[in-house]
Chain A
Amino acid sequence: MSVPAIEFKQLSFAYSGRPDSLKSITFSLRRGSKTALVGPNGAGKTTLLLMCNGTLRPTSGTVVIGGGEISYDARSLREIRRRVGMVFQNSDAQLFAPTVYQDVAFGPLNIGISDEDIGRAVAESLFAVGLAGYERRPPHHLSGGEKKRVAIAGVLAMQPEILIFDEPTSSLDPAGAAEIMDLLDELHHQGVTILLSTHDVELAYQWADDVVLIADGEILHHGPPATIFCDTDLMRRAHLTMPTLLSLYHHLVARRLMQPDIPPGGIPDMAQRIEEITPGGIAQDAPAPIHLLDTGEGVNGPITALRTIYPNLRIGVMGTAAKRTLAEAAIIPDVTYGVIDTSILHALRREPVLIITTGGMIERVKARVLDFSRTSGISLSVLPLRENDTTEEI
């Protein structure tokens, strides 16, 4: 087994003169995992996250980052803070420079990156969060979602291995929150280990590989989301509610309308199971194909060609670079978050759909659709588009 990204060993912490906020915390995060730290208000989530980059020092126990124990001298802390990027809950507290450029450049400058490289690091980070061109704006002229993106860019500019987010979607509107979560997925796909805290069970259930449940400063459980959120006793102890999808599933199972199985992972999965239990089945038409386009191939030609075949074509876009390309081409997408699952649903409804994305995410789309086809037994086809070519099938 490889070295864990973060490891907490028997960690306890108390703010001076108060009872323990964290009691003997022991768990570890796999490298490249995406983990949600879930718990009610005041459970100690933020305190625990502040341990990860040495902002708070445990009263007893240790924090191990990438195999090395954190030591609390100034030099080691700087190295830890470069490797572990922290995005605070309140973006206003995190953005302190008068302009976006200066704020993003702050980290790289202080870890001693040369002047030429700083400009590049800032440009790349702002591009990665979809805010290229915002350099000279003051933070108080940005919306909540944009501030959050700048805060993320400021951390990305130091090229961290681990990203820590404290309540990344609180105070964002639902679409803004979903887009931030998509951005997190994109970063995770690039190999960053992500740990976020939340009390949004829906978000944690859909997004995380692993869930750490914390209440009253203690870890109640650490495991895959389905096992934790299905445990009503755990949910009650942690002051949380079951995600809607799971509640529905449990209800249907309890009424013996549905066979107990692995809990459904998302809406396409659930829709599939309901289809299976429909008496006599339903008239099954072949689903519409999911078209796939790499922005590197040019967007205008293929989209126009496809639109002449399917006037009601739905366009979904994944990833910051693809979103930007589409914006430049003045094409308005229908779906900008939760794109793969939404597209599968569209395909099942026989609505032709096109996913536009770049590079490595192409494979992710294929893998997810293939996975759905295998578990559901409905064969969905993914058609990669190229200029003057709309027929290749996988």
Chain B
Amino acid sequence: MQSIDHHFLDDYACRNALRETDTRMKLLLGLGGIFIAISASTPYSPLFIALVLSYVTVFRAEIPVRLYAALLCIPASFALMSVIVILFVTGGGDPLWTLTLPWFTLMATTDAAWYALIILSRAIGGTAALLFIALTTPVIELFGLLRSLRIPQEFIDLSMLLYRSIFVLIGEAVAIYNAQVMRNGYSSFKGGVIAFSMLASSLFIRAWERGEELFSAMDARCYDGKFELLQSSNDIRLRDIFLIILFLLVAGLLAFLPLSYPPL
């Protein structure tokens, strides 16, 4: 076991090259992408979305390729595993490939292959769009947007306090964890269980103390139920809107046009 250093997706989001682009634009692009990708009836559109948004994330937002590839691999590997099962349990169409075992026969058909392909492409397209949002839009930019969507003030205030507390508590947890590792806290399984339970209990107490400190910190600055929101100062560029709408139109057309499946 080694001590941990923490980096978050949100850190990259705060530093990416599209940081100053308007949040609504980025959400329109990302959410539009997700929606079209998961509802597409052919694999072309999700793959198109995956390609374009990966390009934007890596080359425009300047997210490191290795990080992006690693992030994309996690859901992609899950999707791949499910797709292999789907390939063999779905029927219909012509047999493509048969594996005969003494007690069992596995058969993949053309319909199953198409079905597996569309599931896989939807998953990858959706993930690429989600990662685009996660890596280009810092959480802090979303609070102002929530307000303009008429989400109740109490909900937004609470989520802002929660957001900030997450990082403070992670800092505490990492500090405790490192202190334990330095004294061989996780060197055996049993020791690890004990150390982890101690981490959890002291983290709970610290969280509680932090809550009390938060209360007096807010009180010391005259808390009266008001919490400022970060004003969005970015201008929407017409060119961006045009490109995003063009992209979504193309993706949407690809998704819902009755195109034939690729030949297998």
Contact = CB atoms under 8 A, between A and B. Distances in A.
A90 B213 contact: yes
A92 to B, nearest CB: 5
B223 interface: yes
A55 B220 contact: yes
* Main SS at interface, chain B: helix
Given A55-B216, A93-B210, A97-B164, A141 B11 contact: yes
A93 B217 contact: yes
Contacts of A138: 10, 14, 138, 140, 164, 167
Contacts of A94: 217
A53 interface: yes
Contacts of B210: 93
A97 B222 CA distance: 15
A93 B222 contact: no
A110 B223 contact: yes
A81 interface: yes
Nearest to A108: B228
Contacts of A141: 11, 14
Contacts of A86: 220
Interface residues of A, number: 36
Nearest to B138: A138
Interface string B178-220: 0000000000000000000000000000000010011011111
B182 to A, nearest CB: 20
Contacts of A111: 222, 224
A152 to B, nearest CB: 12
Contact of B160 (A102, A112, A154): A102
Interface string B130-147: 000000001110010000
Contact of A97 (B11, B219, B227): B227
A78 interface: yes
Interface in B118-172: 138-140, 143, 160-161, 163-165, 167-168, 171
Contacts of A98: 139-140, 143, 160, 163-164, 230
B176 to A, nearest CB: 15
A106 B143 CA distance: 15
A81 B140 contact: no
Given A78-B222, A81-B222, A105 B214 contact: no
A107 interface: yes
A164 to B, nearest CB: 9
A111 B220 CA distance: 12
A95 B221 CA distance: 11
B226 interface: yes
Contact of B14 (A88, A95, A106, A137): A137
B13 to A, nearest CB: 10
A139 interface: yes
Contacts of B167: 138-140
Interface residues of B, number: 33
Interface string A98-138: 11011001110111100000100000000000000000111
A101 B138 CA distance: 15
B241 interface: no
Nearest to B11: A141
A2 to B, nearest CB: 26
A82 interface: yes
A158 interface: yes
A55 B138 CA distance: 35
Interface string A65-99: 00000000000001001100010101011111111
A139 B161 CA distance: 12
A245 B176 CA distance: 39
A222 B226 CA distance: 40
Nearest to B165: A96
Given A92-B171, A138-B138, A141-B11, A78 B214 contact: no
B139 to A, nearest CB: 7
A96 B230 contact: no
B51 interface: no
A29 interface: no
B73 interface: no
A81 B228 contact: no
Contact of B221 (A90, A102, A136, A154): A154
A155 interface: yes
A110 B218 CA distance: 10
B229 interface: yes
A96 B165 CA distance: 7
Given A93-B217, A139-B164, A101 B222 contact: no
Contacts of A88: 213, 217, 220
B5 to A, nearest CB: 14
A77 to B, nearest CB: 8
A158 B222 contact: yes
Nearest to B10: A138
Nearest to A87: B220
Nearest to A118: B228
A99 B140 contact: yes
Contacts of B214: 93, 96
A96 B218 contact: yes
Nearest to B160: A98
Contacts of B230: 98-99, 101-102, 136
Contacts of A78: 222, 224
B140 A55 contact: no
A106 B161 contact: no
A110 B223 CA distance: 6
A110 B168 CA distance: 24
Interface of B: 10-11, 14, 138-140, 143, 160-161, 163-165, 167-168, 171, 210, 213-214, 216-230
13 contacts: A92-B171, A93-B210, A97-B228, A98-B163, A107-B221, A109-B227, A110-B221, A110-B222, A110-B223, A138-B10, A138-B138, A138-B140, A158-B221
